[in-house]
Structure 1
Amino acid sequence: MAQTPYSDQPARAFWSRAMARTAPEEVDPVTEVPFTIGPDDRIVTAGSCFAEHIARHLRGAGFNALVTEPAHPMVGDATARQFNYGIFTARYGNIYVARQLLQLLRRAYGRFQPAEDCWPGEGAALIDPYRPRIQPGGFACGAEFEAERAKHFAAVRAAFETLDVFVFTLGLTEAWVSRADGAVFPLCPGVAGGSFDPERHEFHNFTVDEIVADLSDFIAELRAVNPGARVLFTVSPVPLAATATKAHVLSATTLSKSILRVACHQLAASHENVAYFPSYEVIVGPHHRGRYMADDLRSVTEEGVAHAMRLFFRHFAGIEQPAPQAAAPGRPRDAHLDAMQEVVEVNCDEAELDDAAPRPDAPRGRGILDRLRRRL
């Protein structure tokens, strides 16, 4: 056989060897990493709802998943979670798009003050437009609103200034922004607070170039306050709950995740101590034959999360965690494997979009996305 550039390629370069002939739980698309992470490194997590899984597994493995905005010691675990304490490093809720992250950093340091800064809730309650689901029922009054935001920004600054590793999971390219100053909302106004106004709010689908520019600015500004910061990007495998484009939600999801994946590639290739971890590929690849997604085709099973995190610990921490043993043909699954198929609940702001949509038996045009499209 003639010598070609493929002749000396390792098995991982060939689909038949790396995918088709490999047990699903052994598929490993990680080839090299630019840095490693130790159990004493202070790790800050942020991003989409999939980032919650990463934080949970880090803590479970004894790693220092930093929390700079904890609940009061007298508050029970269930109540703390209800009020979004301990889900991420600080109480910022889901951060779906790159510009939202960049603006959080700038707001925490007083370099950006959105014009639309507060929404009225029920009665005298107030809602934070940039974390609208963080406080069930909203904040009781203006004094509480301002005090809690000041405490939050202090926690964000503490996280950025003391972290060793920042793990950010990109979730979306679609966003709603303020026409006044470009402030990015995590949810469309009107879904979980506020009211949609086409004169004040507009839809924007971020491009690869915009995301790369925003995250490059974020890295530079993060390292201005923390020169040694290492950054790890992942892409959430969770599909869009809804799209505000004219595309089918499947096509919109494919476009969004493709843009995010390309942006991550460019960022890792052009910045020192910036890595990409392929949790997206592990979860959505065909090797698992449907085992890593729940019946809603959106929630990730614990088996899928565990596979991704096994690879994370293997390559970034040098720790081998055992893979679950698949049941032999004709033999019943054991309780451990059944548990691995379960879905671990995460607090996902974007799910509100689906909750706001009309049910199949409801009159058409009553969902919020239908109303928004008619006004755009």
Structure 2
Amino acid sequence: MQFHTEFSPEVLPHRIGLNSQIVTIGSCFADVMGQRLVDAKLSVLNNPFGTIFNPVSISKLLTMALRGTSPDENGYIERDGVWFHYDFHSMLWANNQAELRDKLIACLTQTSDAIRKADFLFLTLGSAMVYRHIETGKVVANCHKMPGALFEKYLYQIDHLRDDMNRLLKTLHKVNPNLKVLVTVSPVRHTRDTLPLNNVSKSILRVIAHELTVWNDWITYFPAYELMMDDLRDYRFYEADLIHPNTQAHDYIFGKFAECAFDPDLRNFISKWTQITKSLAHRPLYGHNSPAHRQFLIKLIAELETMSKRIDVSAELAEVQGRLEKCILSNV
């Protein structure tokens, strides 16, 4: 007897390997998936602009980066002595406008360089609801806790959204013809928009994502949203706010992603690396000076040295070697 609808996505036509270079952009789900890829020792630029929910702002930022355009001078704001920019997340801040401008330009340059070299762009769309700054008439990525009267909130029209995404993807394909794009719709529900509007918003994003994959063989959809809504249809897979997927849900979705998106060599590598990370987290039950623990550390160093032929484990090696040295010195 089955108690849920298990869903296994089809194998993606373009597979991620250990040496693949990846950029993630978008909502908080992009952060989560990106960090999982980082933990798996892949080369990842993880959500450099911070959490960006709406595709309009995602398109604007990536286009700005790829064309070498400077941030809009009208977008800078100061609040409580701290400077922000309406096109960027609040994690990008500074004590003055000039300092922030330098920081934003550096972020745009880093992102442009990474995308031009990347094999994959993991693009997560969060919401079709946008906030328009009334004075400038422009959609913002973040309101930075400014008064709500400064903004108009509305559902972005699907045709305009389609046009924005098509322009962005043409630009991406022009600067990096080998880039493969993985599109997802974030499984995080935007309940502040009301559940009916959240469903309309997600539907718009899902239609756009589908159309992009139909028109472009280098764009693929990964069904994170469907996995959360249908496969994991239970509140035990949510955080206490009943909105964000919890760690168990992230584990499950990332596992499904690995099955369909990673090549066999990468899956085999991650299996071995998972065991090593467990060993790195191990602490001896009966003290750090026992012969058994010394042998454990020596074995772990050997495993890391073997791994070093494929990935950078210099930090992990240094940490374990330091533990071994302390263990030896304490017995002198």
Shorter-chain-normalised TM-score: which range? Answer: 0.7 to 0.9
| Secondary structure of the structure 2 residue equivalent to 1:149 | helix
Aligned runs of 1:50-69 on 2, under 5 Å? 50-65=29-44, 67=45
Residue 196 to residue 107, structure 1, CA distance change in 2 (3 Å):
farther
Q: Using the TM superposition, name which of 292-301 and 307-316 deviates more.
A: 292-301
The match for 2:75 among 106, 117, 121 is: 117
Please tell me whether the aligned partners of residues 177 and 184 of structure 1 are also in contact (alpha carbons under 8 angstroms).
yes
1:240 matched residue in structure 2? 190
Aligned runs of 1:76-115 on 2, under 5 Å? 88-90=46-48, 92-108=49-65, 109-111=67-69, 114=72
1:139 matched residue in structure 2? 94
2:168 matched residue in structure 1? 218
- Among all aligned residue pairs of Structure 1 and Structure 2, give the percentage whose two residues are the same amino acid: 23
Residue 39 to residue 290, structure 1, CA distance change in 2 (3 Å):
same
Residue 89 to residue 289, structure 1, CA distance change in 2 (3 Å):
closer
Could you state the TM-score of these two structures normalised by the residue count of structure 2?
Answer: 0.72
Task: Give 1:111 shift.
Answer: 4.8
Equivalent position amino acid for 2:87 in 1:
Y
Equivalent position amino acid for 2:139 in 1:
V
Residue 113 to residue 153, structure 1, CA distance change in 2 (3 Å):
closer
Please tell me whether the aligned partners of residues 29 and 278 of structure 1 are also in contact (alpha carbons under 8 angstroms).
no
Please tell me whether the aligned partners of residues 11 and 261 of structure 2 are also in contact (alpha carbons under 8 angstroms).
no
Provide Cα deviations, 1:202-236, integer angstroms capped at 9, x if missing partner: 33312333332222211110122111110000011
Distance 2:207 2:32 in 1: 23
Provide Cα deviations, 1:163-195, integer angstroms capped at 9, x if missing partner: 1100011000100124576532123x3xx2444
Distance 1:182 1:43 in 2: 34
Distance 1:193 1:64 in 2: 34
Equivalent position amino acid for 2:222 in 1:
F
Distance 2:158 2:98 in 1: 40
Equivalent position amino acid for 2:22 in 1:
I
Residue 132 to residue 264, structure 1, CA distance change in 2 (3 Å):
closer
Task: List runs of 5+ in structure 2 lacking aligned partners.
Answer: 272-332
Could you state the TM-score of these two structures normalised by the residue count of structure 1?
Answer: 0.65
Provide Cα deviations, 1:232-284, integer angstroms capped at 9, x if missing partner: 000111111512xxxxx111111111111111111111112100000111112
Distance 2:33 2:21 in 1: 14
Residue 112 to residue 205, structure 1, CA distance change in 2 (3 Å):
farther
| Secondary structure of the structure 1 residue equivalent to 2:99 | helix
| Secondary structure of the structure 1 residue equivalent to 2:75 | coil
Task: Give 1:115 shift.
Answer: 5.9
Distance 2:40 2:31 in 1: 14
Please tell me whether the aligned partners of residues 97 and 171 of structure 1 are also in contact (alpha carbons under 8 angstroms).
yes
Distance 1:165 1:180 in 2: 37
Distance 1:225 1:263 in 2: 22
| Secondary structure of the structure 2 residue equivalent to 1:203 | strand
Please tell me whether the aligned partners of residues 100 and 184 of structure 1 are also in contact (alpha carbons under 8 angstroms).
yes
RMSD (Å), alpha carbons: 2.5
Please tell me whether the aligned partners of residues 96 and 172 of structure 1 are also in contact (alpha carbons under 8 angstroms).
yes
Distance 1:267 1:127 in 2: 33
